[in-house]
Amino acid sequence: MIVITAPTGNIGRRLLSLLLEAAPARGEELRVVVRDPARLPEAARGRVEVVTGSHGDPETADRAFAGADAVFWLVPPDASRAPEEAYSGFTRPAAQAFAAHGVGHVVGVSALGRGTPPAARAGLVTAALAVDDLIAGSGVAYRALACPSFFENLLEEAGSIRENGVFTDTVAADRPAPLVAVADIAATAAGLLLDRSWTGAGSVPVLGPQDLSPDDLARIMTEELGRPVRYRRESLDDLRSTMLGYGLDEAFVEGMVEMKRAKDQGLDSGVDRVPQAVPATGFAQWCAQVLKPAVLASTEAAGAR
């Protein structure tokens, strides 16, 4: 039995699709933990066991992980709570359930930076790395998928790219760093969940094929979208003010600011690339397949108003 948490999110829905295709041939049953079963894809209906609720809830976790051989673990974003509570507080009931039910293997989504100086004060990343320690301490075999920033974060900028030809972040324009497509994270998770020959606790870096700076991203987007795109650097103070203006938890906002500061100090840099189970998605490929349709959809929506 493989249990998938957050099966309707960016990573989870891709992982669910991969496992629906591959698991039956291996005799694997699937179970999902979801707040709203109506959001599950049609292809999953009747093919997976459904546990309704939040996987951070003790009673739900106890039901979800009873009889599980392997678990995909993802902490959903929660900007209404301080980072320690949003990450370790959310995970603690699950870690207890893993131990109580003798779950063998867990694969979790985490972050790069462990062992580097910036990681000690990296806000949300520091909180994510603490989750890895919590799960590993439950006695399961554990693999943390150590990820940099996602390509998909740029989808939040589709409107700005369409209207102004601009995307925004807080890192230096010429600082290269790895980035990753969520499809690659899902594929790596699927491989580990289906082939559970691994033991102990460790991390698996999941990276795109090359490090890219914001200026590199702007150049590639310009080429792939057929329109000028440039990068605008935002100050950490402006980011803090904007997020607080949305009414987000002050401690969570500070965790985001600390993470952004650490990334500008090289938190994600210097990771050796090793062969991955599937070819890494390049940024130009992702732009053509994902970002361009999103920008065009924004254009069509604007024209319809």
Residues 19, 276, 287: CA angle, nearest 5 degrees = 80
pLDDT category of residue 96 using cuts at 50, 70 and 90: very high
**Residue spans of beta strands (DSSP E) within the chain:** 2-5, 30-34, 49-52, 70-73, 105-111, 141-147, 149-150, 166-169, 179-180, 201-205, 230-233
pLDDT in tens, 203-239: 999 999 999 999 999 999 999 999 999 999 999 999 9
> Is the pLDDT reported for residue 304 higher than 60?
no
Q: Could you tell me the CA-to-CA distances from 287 to 153, 223, 225, 240 in Å, in that order? A: 12, 10, 8, 29
Stretch 288-293: mean pLDDT, rounded?
A: 96
pLDDT category of residue 303 using cuts at 50, 70 and 90: very low
Nearest CA among 265, 112, 262, 261 for reference residue 179 = 112
- State the pLDDT at residue 275: 72
Q: What is the mean pLDDT of the chain?
A: 93
Stretch 112-135: mean pLDDT, rounded?
A: 93
pLDDT category of residue 302 using cuts at 50, 70 and 90: very low
- State the pLDDT at residue 298: 55
- State the pLDDT at residue 277: 65
Contact 220, 241 (CB under 8 A): no
DSSP 54-95: -TTSHHHHHHHHTT-SEEEE-PPP-TTS-HHIIIIIHHHHHH
- Name the residue type at position 155: L
CA 222 to chain centroid, in Å, comes to 26
SS3 at position 103: coil
Q: CA torsion angle for 78, 81, 83, 88 (degrees, to 10)?
A: -80
Stretch 119-131: mean pLDDT, rounded?
A: 94
> Is the pLDDT reported for residue 70 higher than 90?
yes
Contacts of 219 by beta carbon, 8 Å cutoff, 6+ apart:
none
d(Cα 1, Cα 49) in Å, to the nearest integer?
10
Contact 21, 5 (CB under 8 A): no
* CATH number belonging to domain 2-149+179-205: 3.40.50.720
d(Cα 78, Cα 75) in Å, to the nearest integer?
9
d(Cα 128, Cα 11) in Å, to the nearest integer?
16
> Is the pLDDT reported for residue 143 higher than 60?
yes
Stretch 18-45: mean pLDDT, rounded?
A: 93
> Is the pLDDT reported for residue 98 higher than 60?
yes
pLDDT category of residue 279 using cuts at 50, 70 and 90: confident
> Is the pLDDT reported for residue 305 higher than 50?
no
Nearest CA among 85, 141, 136, 147 for reference residue 110 = 147
d(Cα 140, Cα 56) in Å, to the nearest integer?
18
Would you state the structure tokens that stand for residue 107, as one six-digit string? Answer: 């694969």
